[in-house]
Structure 1
């Protein structure tokens, strides 16, 4: 493979790094949550509200954030929101009360709200249709890997220097990514002199620059079913991301040291599921040429299989077997993710940021509701 041919994979690597870091920043508070609640005397409902604070702006600003990304382009859009989420992560380390932590998590959601829709616009520009499922699978695998490694990383910082230090370190890492992205990302392929004619031909026709007048009615009509699927997917994901560490500690008896391994296992299963889901969808597209079949058949089957495995996880006696079942559930849940994010690129490539934001609103709304409902149920029933 020539040097020029690899330019789109450099872009993909930058986006993978972004997804990796954003999910560490999202997950770190759930890993440190038990320690934070003890230090600041927070109830389960208060902790659930802090967990969900991220999702209020994340849900409400998906659509305008994605549309802004379409208009501004990925370089400007991700540069701005990256600075916001990095600052919010750093500020979380200074939180000393429920209100302060709620506000900093709210700001993190504000910063990350446009990140994935804008990155989807970049992938629509840089990746040919037959590589889009793989691209979405790879970046979301990086996200799940970030969520998985957040567990040992945050545990390491909590044990050595306290929970605040984890937010300082991870906020600094976010700032480093912003600088590297601005230095290395030049814009769409036609704006990048490193892209040769051969790679331009492989990428294919570029999405047009988005008009300030988006076809809202057509987008809503095309995407409401996948938005509903994303809500269902997000309900399960947010429970895993916010409450899994606390469940394993308080209900299954894992200490903080063993949590570093066992809380990471379901998320590592998700890494495999994300990539496998994207590869499988692209393979179906190559073999059948049927875009609808390639992108939609997985969703219902995999959501069902995820539920099938999570039910026995709640009742088995063995803590290790419970983790195995949770890992299987999360694997099937994540088989959906790449497909969900590929559909906006296929349906409306020139408005892929807007379309991705519309779809991911369902995910954000689930993130507002499910952590609080889960915390309320724990507090009301006295058990998990």
Structure 2
């Protein structure tokens, strides 16, 4: 047991440190939940909207990816702003704007305005995932970082567990527009909660002195400025960063297929109606949500607390998770709905477990003051995948009449992701200028 672990245990034994940090964790969960309501509403309403606007699968793929065009472009600027201004005010302003493009989507009358509103939504939601990673780094010691990260990131999965069935019910009974009204109302409610509850640890009146000490002595990231010369260019020269980005690209390629095309797969391939497809879509996401918290979060932290090498534990979890994702290929050849659901559940459970590992890494490897930059840079690779996955999948379905080719391609991408984590990334440890050797950096 390390001296740090002993010190933290002593603080816990000598003080009632409280658990307000987990209130913040639940708030970050809510932020991701609402953000992904804004994505599942489109995928769930997709079949109805394709009929309403006379869209092909390729055109719907373009609409599905439009959000991500600006979301990706704004990632690094958002990270720089987060590191300069801080989580509190960036997320306050961002959350206050989410509902506007979502609400207006219910009134669009053509493909052009629909794409425009998805593009605007990508701008206002861009800071939120990097902000969640940065906030987790502020609020949780390293020994709890796995569970904290799994908690907030699992909101992206739980949005599919409850958002898809709810939106499917609304679309079936009240029309596709109702799904966007519902999401806009949820966005307003969350924004009010966030303005009331979120502060940085040293600003929070709800945080006890003992809990603050426990957080800070446990290796939480400081709200500080980076060293001179340690900047975005320094981060981009690290081989570790490129390995992480390749792995995250693979994770998001698989995730955004599930997110944008799974309901349509059940409708197009297995002839379910929208409400049935919503229910079947929720099952793999439910297992993924549970697995991310228990395996990707609690179990990873448990192994690290028992003295296992933290870097090896996190990398092993990610690699196993990405490898399980290849199981989705089996779904394309399934003779029945339930066999397809089993394949999807295996694949998505693994992919979700890897997600907790990916989003724990930026706050660990980032140089002081650059968590936002590292998080957003990693997320750029994911958003490139998010842009091309819906389009490539839609084009493959139009060209072949099935999802088999698209699913096989996802399997190949997941293998490349495993290569990035095992070969390129190296140990999961903080990047320092003094470690700028030939094994750690990319040559100028």
Q: TM-score range by the shorter chain?
A: over 0.9
Cα separation, partners in 2 of 1:213 and 1:51, compared to 1, 3 Å: farther
CA distance in 1, matches of 2:16, 2:96: 31
Maintained 8 Å contact 2:263/2:278: no
Distance between the aligned counterparts of 1:255 and 1:18, measured in 2?
30
- Of 207, 214, 221, the residue aligned with 1:195 is 207
Structure 1 residue 281: Cα displacement: 2.4
Most deviating of 349-358 and 131-140? 349-358
Q: What is the 5 A alignment of 1:243-262?
A: 243-262=261-280
TM-score by length of 1: 0.95
* Aligned ranges 1:212-291 → 2 under 5 Å: 214-220=230-236, 221=238, 222-275=240-293, 276-288=295-307, 290-291=309-310
**Is the CA contact 1:85–1:110 (under 8 Å) kept in the aligned structure 2?**
no
- Give a deviation string over 1:254-295, Cα, whole Å, max 9, x none: 112322311111111210222121223222322235232132
Q: Which residue is equivalent to 1:208? A: 223
On the 8 A contact 1:282/1:294 being kept in 2, the answer is: no
CA distance in 1, matches of 2:197, 2:369: 23
1:161 matched to 2:174? The reply is yes
State the distance in 2 between where 1:184 and 1:12 align: 11
Alpha-carbon contact 2:57-2:395 (below 8 Å) kept: yes
Listed as ranges, the matches of 1:221-370 within 5 Å are 221=238, 222-275=240-293, 276-288=295-307, 290-307=309-326, 309-348=327-366, 350-370=369-389
Please, what is the CA RMSD of the aligned residues?
1.8
In structure 1, distance between residues paired with 2:156 and 2:277: 19
CA distance in 1, matches of 2:255, 2:261: 10
SS in 1 for 2:369: helix
Aligned-partner SS, 2:207:
coil
Structure with higher Rg: it is 2
- The 5 Å alignment of 1:3-14 reads 5-14=18-27
Could you tell me how far apart the structure 2 residues matched to 1:369 and 1:150 are? 24
Q: Distance in 1 between matches of 2:223 and 2:96?
A: 27
Stretches of structure 2 lacking an aligned partner (at least 5 in a row)? 1-11, 404-444
Residue 73 of structure 2 corresponds to residue 55 of structure 1? no
- TM-score normalised according to structure 2 size: 0.82
Unmatched 5+ residue regions in structure 1? none
CA distance in 2 between counterparts of 1:281 and 1:127 reads 15
19, 24, 31: which one pairs with 2:37? 24
Q: Would you say the 8 A contact 1:29–1:51 is kept in 2? A: yes
Q: Secondary structure at the match of 1:54?
A: helix
**Contact kept? 2:160, 2:281, Cα under 8 Å:** no
Offset, 1:202: 1.1
* 1:136-170 per-position Cα deviation (integer Å, ceiling 9, x unaligned): 11112222111221111111211222111210121
TM-superposed deviation, 1:46: 0.9
- The one-character-per-residue Cα deviations of 1:93-119 (angstroms, maximum 9, x if unpaired) are 112211111111111211221101012
Contact in 1 for aligned 2:68/2:386 (Cα 8 Å): yes
Distance 2:387 2:275 in 1: 30
Secondary structure of the equivalent of 1:357?
helix
Contact 1:36 1:163 in 2 (8 A): yes
